[in-house]
């Protein structure tokens, strides 16, 4: 195995595209280093992207926030602007692992690791976040939901790197939330995870909603029927009931030691209702508003 720490995105792409053997990107390393020690073994080349200045930043962009690929969970959690605009995304990213893992793990890494149970991804999908992908043929913007194609599999072509994620600007009266079920209170992998983002009009009617559902299918799902259950309503009991039913109906889970099919299907609905209620409360409290760029 060779180790390279390029200073620019272009040189990282060139290294990745030009490696005849296997190559892996190293950001936080909390998944990659575990893999290096596993039966899968070492790649021929590891490209550490943490020396690339542009990837370290959280920057205001068009009323939203662009999160660089090497921003750790701890750095994201300490950023007041992102936390105010997208509390659900931040709380999802902060649920990943321990304090030690938070010091290293990145949201882009969580996306690219392509686990169906990735905590930040349902919240990112609910947020309609966009990944900026740079490769040998240039740069393209891709909906985060299109990155993972199956467990551990991505749509990225050879030489492509996710350089950042854009969390878009939010209208007033918007809120988001993420909840997951694990058998204990900390340090576990989601059995079910639900991200909900919604926007209300001045009279309290839901005008837009998105629901991301994790750990119940081969990839994190965008559940349009669940969003449709909220849109046009005041998010009353009947709407929440329909939301829960839509989430349960969308589940195609596996049966494993951490949760049965029946359990995951039921809990998806329960968590979706609770997450929607939190997102609603945040939208009503003005906790999340379209924030002006601070710098």
Partner 1 sequence: MTQIHVSTTINGDAVEFLCEAQETLLDVLRDRLGLTGAKEGCGTGDCGACSVTLDKRLVCSCLVLGAEVEGREITTIEGMADGEILHPLQQKFLEHAALQCGICTPGILVAAKALLEKNPDPTETETRYWLAGNLCRCTGYDKIIRAVMDAAEQMRGA
Residue 2 or 252 with smaller CB distance to partner 1 = 2
Looking at residues 103 to 122 of the shown chain, list those that interact with partner 1 (rule: CB under 8 A): 103-104
Instruction: Please tell me whether residue 99 binds partner 1 under the rule CB under 8 A.
Output: yes
In angstroms, rounded to a whole number, what is the distance separating the alpha carbons of residues 206 and 257? 38
Under 8 Å between Cβ of 246 and 229: yes
Chain positions 182 to 201 lying near partner 1, rule: CB under 8 A, are 186-187
Going by DSSP bridges, is the β-strand pair 130-135/161-167 parallel, antiparallel, or unpaired?
antiparallel
Cross-strand partners of 278: none
For residues 26 and 147, give the distance between their C-alpha atoms in angstroms, rounded to a whole number: 17
74 binds partner 1 (CB under 8 A): yes
Q: Which residues pair with 106 in a beta bridge?
A: 72
Contact residues for 122 (Cβ-Cβ < 8 A; gap 6+): 92, 178, 193, 194, 195, 212, 213, 214, 220
* CB-side neighbour CA atoms (13 Å) of 156: 29
Return the number of the residue (44 or 62) whose C-beta is nearest partner 1: 44
Per rule CB under 8 A, is residue 238 in the interface with partner 1? no
Residue 179 sits in the site that holds partner 1 (CB under 8 A): no
Contacts (CB under 8 A) with partner 1, residues 16-35: 26, 29-30, 33-34
Strand, helix or coil at 75?
A: helix
Interaction between residue 1 and partner 1 (CB under 8 A): yes
Least gap, CB of 280 to partner 1 (angstroms): 26
Is 294 a binding residue for partner 1 by CB under 8 A? The answer is no
Which residues of the shown chain bind partner 1 in the complex (CB under 8 A)? Answer: 1-3, 5, 26, 29-30, 33-34, 36-37, 42, 46, 48, 50, 72, 74, 97-101, 103-104, 186-187
């Amino acid at each position: 195995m060779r180790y390279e720490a390029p200073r620019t995105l272009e040189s990282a792409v060139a290294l990745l595209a030009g490696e005849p053997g296997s190559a892996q990107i190293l950001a936080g390393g909390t998944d990659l280093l575990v893999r290096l020690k596993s039966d899968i073994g070492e790649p021929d080349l590891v490209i550490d992207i943490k020396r690339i200045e542009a990837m370290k930043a959280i920057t205001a962009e068009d009323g939203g926030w662009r999160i660089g690929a090497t921003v750790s969970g701890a750095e994201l959690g300490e950023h007041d602007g992102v936390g105010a605009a997208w509390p659900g995304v931040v709380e999802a990213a902060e649920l990943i692992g321990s304090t030690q893992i938070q010091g290293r793990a990145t949201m882009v890494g969580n996306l690219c690791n392509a686990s169906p149970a990735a905590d930040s991804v349902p919240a990112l999908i609910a947020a309609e976040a966009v990944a900026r992908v740079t490769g040998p043929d240039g740069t393209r913007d891709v909906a985060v939901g299109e990155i993972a194609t199956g467990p551990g599999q991505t749509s990225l072509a050879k030489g492509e790197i996710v350089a950042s994620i854009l969390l878009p600007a939010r209208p007033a009266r918007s809120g988001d939330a993420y909840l997951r079920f694990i058998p204990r209170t900390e340090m576990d992998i989601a059995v079910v995870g639900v991200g909900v983002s919604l926007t209300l009009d001045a009279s309290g009617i839901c005008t837009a909603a998105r629901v991301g559902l994790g750990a119940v299918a081969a990839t994190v799902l965008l559940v349009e029927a669940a969003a449709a259950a909220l849109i046009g309503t005041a998010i009353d009991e009947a709407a929440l009931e329909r939301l829960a039913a839509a989430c349960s109906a969308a589940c195609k889970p596996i049966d494993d030691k951490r949760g049965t099919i029946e359990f995951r299907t039921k809990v998806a609905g329960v968590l979706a209702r609770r997450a929607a209620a939190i997102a609603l409360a945040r939208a009503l409290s003005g906790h999340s508003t379209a924030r002006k760029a601070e710098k």
